[in-house]
Amino acid sequence: MIVHDLTGKVAVITGGGRGFGKAFGMALAERGARVVQLDLDEAAAKAAAAEIGHGAEAVMVDVADEEGVHAAMADIADRHGGIDILINNAGIHSAEANEFIGKLGTARTRQMFEVNVWGVVYCTLGARPFMTGREGASIVNIASMAAYGAQKAYGVSKLAVRGLTVSFANELAPEGIRVNAIAPGLIFTDTIRAELPQPVVDHVMAMQIIQREGEERDIVEAMLWLVSPGASFVAGETLRVSGGATLQV
């Protein structure tokens, strides 16, 4: 397990009310960071912050609301003196969204892109002025293995996240901000177990070269490395954590 002292660092996690977001907040807080869990579901964010402890905070924010995002980032920075870590985790990822765009429909596709793509843009630009020049400033976006060989709407949205990661890495590097992404494979959270039919699980597991179930800790450890000094020479990369399911030459 990566152990890196984050005392004095301020970490903002979107989609922080449950799943990866809550797990990220827990890991960062345990290492000394002051974490702020952002979520559209205020009750979930507050419950997560209470479970995390260590002074964790909850803020209700819709990442698809540009003005709301910028106001929240400014308020967090004002109260804590800046932002050091941003985890762009919020996203629409239900099995329903894993359809071709024509079948999903333009309204639902637009809604997903507002969260999965524009949410990354709004949060990154909102946090940028408060991260610039801070030692070790790091942004981690959450993509997906679906971004590789993307055909359906969800995968296309996560392909866009990979592109944004490269673009923002180039744009923000002169300001001392590293930007990277993680592309999780099939990670067996409670939500995934409830949503995915067994044939889909079997298909993905058959693609993996590491034959065990992916766990939240696998993604948490990847995040901790990307925000650590050990990854100080890493920028614009999407780290695939998929048991080898997305191997390509």
Active site residues: 154
DSSP string across 58-88: EEE--TT-HHHHHHHHHHHHHHHS---EEEE
How far apart are the two ends of the chain, measured CA to CA in Å? 29
Buried/exposed code over 136-157 (b: 16+ C-beta within 10 A; e: otherwise): bbbbbbbbbbbbbebeebbbbb
Cα distances (angstroms) measured from residue 130 to each of 83, 145, 167, 238: 5, 31, 19, 24
Six-digit token string for 113: 């892109």
